[in-house]
Amino acid sequence: MANVTEVRQNVSMIISRVVETREPAVILQRSKPVVYVVEASAYEELLKKVEAADRLLRVEETKNALQDLADLRKRMASKGKQQDSVPLIRDLREGKSR
């Protein structure tokens, strides 16, 4: 941890320590953390993990949407020919199940 004044005076030392230890440095302003200084490869690794988590979330959302569609098809098929599908579609949009 270092405050803004220490960063101004010792920026090279702080960067060297972060690169050497691969541990982030916390920069404080008025005793509150405002910035983390991280080594470049650690930051890039973190970005890759975030992107992978985002892809996984999108896959799960797609699976859920496909399952909702399959459930809708089953409900519609079980009711036979339906004159008005608007209530069923409205319920699906609103997350209600029948």
Residues sharing a CB contact under 8 Å with residue 42, sequence separation 6 or more, in sequence order:
22, 24
Interhelix angle 40-78/86-93, nearest 10 degrees: 150
Residues sharing a CB contact under 8 Å with residue 3, sequence separation 6 or more, in sequence order:
27, 28, 29, 31
The answer to pTM > 0.85 is: no
Tell me the per-residue pLDDT of 56-69, one tens digit each, with 9 for 90 and over.
999 999 998 888 88
β-partners of residue 25 are 37
Alpha-carbon gap, residue 73 to 89, rounded angstroms: 11
Mean pLDDT of 20-32: 89
